[in-house]
Amino acid sequence: MKYKSLPASFYQQVRKQFMQKMKPQSLAIFNSNDVYPISADSTLPFAQHRDIFYLSGVDQEESILVLFPDAYEAKHREILFLRETNAHIAVWEGAKLSKKAASALTGIETVYWLKDFDRVFQELSTQCETFYFNTNEHYRQAVETETREDRFIKQCKLNYPAHQVAKSNPILQQLRSIKAEEEIQQIQQACDITEEGFRRILDFVRPGVWEFEIEAELAHEFLRNRSKGFAYQPIIASGKNSNVLHYTDNNQQCQSGDLLLMDVAAEYGNYSSDMTRTIPVSGKFSPRQRAVYDAVLRVKKQATAMLKPGVLWKSYHEEVGKIMTGELIDLGLLDKADVQNEDPKMPAYKKYFMHGTSHHLGLDTHDYGLLHLPMAANMVFTVEPGIYLPEEGFGVRLEDNVVIQEQGEPINLMKNIPIAPEAIEELMHS
Ligand code: GLY
Ligand code: MN
Ligand code: MN
């Protein structure tokens, strides 16, 4: 494995917590993602479904995890089904998990080959009343593709029409939103790799450089540090592109006098980091760019300080909106009348800051977490205010990743990644 896996004890603990929340006489199933085809015999690189990974550490296609706390036989309380490996497969694809290696990785004693699944599952189905299915209920999901999990659920409902069904997702949303110490270390590692990439490009960016050349520098630095690469599609946006929130073309040349907004970060061990920095292409901010940058940085600092146990995501965003409104007035972008006349459903500041300030971060970049529940210690959030000014040809966003503490301010996992404008200017000139 490229990355250092978490210890089996972590996965054992997580499964225990999950099973404690299941109804009596119920069984939960979790599938790997498919390997997605391109055409002919080409495929996209495999990316594991984060839930089976979270519960087992298995980073391999065609795997199934079954959790059944009330199984008649103790050996069937946790079962892992894996694609059979053999000498032939090993020659073509390299070693897949053996039963022994899978047990050591996951802490699951019972590992069967996938070909035994139908038979074993039929037997277990007679011992349970309810199947927990793992549907995607993320607040931002917009998936058209039928996943391996979806196909399994469809088939299972056909094969076992008399069973009741329940949802795994709400349990996972709660468990995954609170990070264990080991998980925070993986995210920290992802942040540290991101730092390496950012420092590399501070030395590289100058007028005439192309956005894709910056992407290449970052990819190089991420891969050589045992990351699989970008945690999400990198946004490397110079000049007016910095106002396009989801710009990923990365095909323009950086011009002197422009700002360069980079929303780029590494993954590590399937955990995301999520960073945005905005730097001057020529190494020096103009006074106007600097004024906007300073405003965004102030909002970010104040927003971060508000992330505490008990706080509600919605009211936090309302408070950040008020702070941003004050900054926009000071920058001459809004006046008092704009604010007095604003529609509370569409406050005036949203003209310049149209996205959210924070989201959960973890195995997914926009991670699990039920937003109506109060914040709690060991939740990891991004803080990412921005001001976008198409009329002036630039936008500024700054984004760090923080861990909520029981007491006091959150810990910033990106505290070593330069953000002070003076530091950025100095490093670009050194
Ligand atoms: N990079 C995606 C985001 O900032 O939410
Ligand atoms: Mn981001
Ligand atoms: Mn983000």
CATH for the stretch 181-429: 3.90.230.10
Per-residue pLDDT tens for 244-299?
999 999 999 999 999 999 999 999 999 999 999 999 999 999 999 999 999 999 99
Per-residue pLDDT tens for 124-170?
999 999 999 999 999 888 889 999 999 999 999 999 999 999 999 99
How many Å lie between the centroid of ligand 2 and the Cα of residue 322?
Answer: 22
Q: What is the mean pLDDT of residues 86-107?
A: 90
pLDDT exceeds cutoff 80 at 111: yes
Q: Read off the tokens for 361.
A: 């971060």
How many Å lie between the centroid of ligand 2 and the Cα of residue 77?
Answer: 39
Q: What is the pLDDT of residue 207?
A: 97
* 380: nearest Cα among 143, 207, 105, 188: 188
Per-residue pLDDT tens for 184-194?
999 999 999 99
Kindly state if the Cβ of 425 falls inside 6 Å of ligand 1: no
Under 8 Å CB-to-CB from 187, ≥6 apart: which residues? 179, 268, 271, 272, 273, 361, 362, 380, 401, 413
The protein residue whose alpha carbon is closest to atom 3 in ligand 1 is 274
Q: What DSSP assignment string belongs to 4-27?
A: PPPPHHHHHHHHHHHHHTSPTTEE
- From 194, 267, 276, 361, the mutation candidate for ligand 1 (largest count of ligand atoms within 8 A of CB) is 276
Kindly state if the Cβ of 384 falls inside 6 Å of ligand 1: yes
Per-residue pLDDT tens for 321-370?
999 999 999 999 999 999 999 998 899 999 999 999 999 999 999 999 99
Torsion sign across C-alpha atoms 230, 232, 233, 238: negative
How many Å lie between the centroid of ligand 1 and the Cα of residue 261?
Answer: 12
**Beta-ladder partners of 133:** 167
Kindly state if the Cβ of 51 falls inside 6 Å of ligand 1: no
Under 8 Å CB-to-CB from 94, ≥6 apart: which residues? none
The protein residue whose alpha carbon is closest to atom 4 in ligand 1 is 274
Q: Read off the tokens for 372.
A: 């109506």
Q: What is the mean pLDDT of the chain?
A: 97
* 375: nearest Cα among 393, 397, 402, 395: 402
Strands of 380-383's sheet in order across:
380-383, 400-403, 411-412
pLDDT exceeds cutoff 90 at 305: yes
- Beta strand 400-403 with 380-383 is antiparallel
Which ligand lies nearest to the CA atom of residue 275 in the structure?
2
pLDDT exceeds cutoff 80 at 93: no
pLDDT exceeds cutoff 90 at 1: no
Q: What is the pLDDT of residue 161?
A: 98
Which ligand lies nearest to the CA atom of residue 382 in the structure?
3
Looking at the domain 8-176, which fold is it?
A: Creatine Amidinohydrolase; Chain A, domain 1 (3.40.350)
How many Å lie between the centroid of ligand 2 and the Cα of residue 275?
Answer: 5
Q: Boundaries of CATH 3.40.350.10 in the chain?
A: 8-176
Q: How confident is the model at residue 34 (pLDDT cuts 50, 70, 90)?
A: very high
Kindly state if the Cβ of 248 falls inside 6 Å of ligand 1: no
Q: What DSSP assignment string belongs to 112-160?
A: EEGGGHHHHHHHHHTT-SEEEE-----TT----SPPHHHHHHHHHHHH-
Per-residue pLDDT tens for 383-397?
999 999 999 999 999
Tell me, rounded to whole angstroms, the distance of Cα 46 from its chain centroid: 17
Q: Boundaries of CATH 3.90.230.10 in the chain?
A: 181-429
